[in-house]
Amino acid sequence: MIILGILVMMVLGILLMAMLDVLVFQQPFFTVLVQLLPVYPDTSTIYMIIGAFVIAAWVNFKMTDRLKKKYGSKSKNQGGEKRDTKQS
């Protein structure tokens, strides 16, 4: 769900920016969209977006909990859970 959410927000955001660019540059929508997509010349945003999805996937599949279950010591885990329940 989190990945989906991020994807939707990405698409909506890019559409919004494309729309504004259409207004600013008076170019057809498609041209603007292609120019907006982070392929060329600056590729760094691609890494950022990939990073966003990696984080989203990490949270989505609860990697922290899984890793803890696999490698973390048992007593520590219990303590953590106990504390969590207390908070909620």
Residues near another protein, by CB under 8 A:
1-2, 4-6, 8-10, 12-14, 16-17, 19-20, 23-25, 35-36, 38, 42, 44-45, 47-49, 51-53, 55-56, 59-60, 82-83, 87
Q: CB–CB of 29/22 below 8 Å?
A: yes
Quote the least distance from Cβ 28 to another protein, whole Å: 17
Question: Which is nearer to another protein, 23 or 67 (by Cβ)?
Answer: 23
Question: Which is nearer to another protein, 48 or 70 (by Cβ)?
Answer: 48
Question: Which is nearer to another protein, 49 or 67 (by Cβ)?
Answer: 49
Quote the least distance from Cβ 7 to another protein, whole Å: 10
Residue 38: asked if its preceding bond is cis (omega within 30°), the reply is no
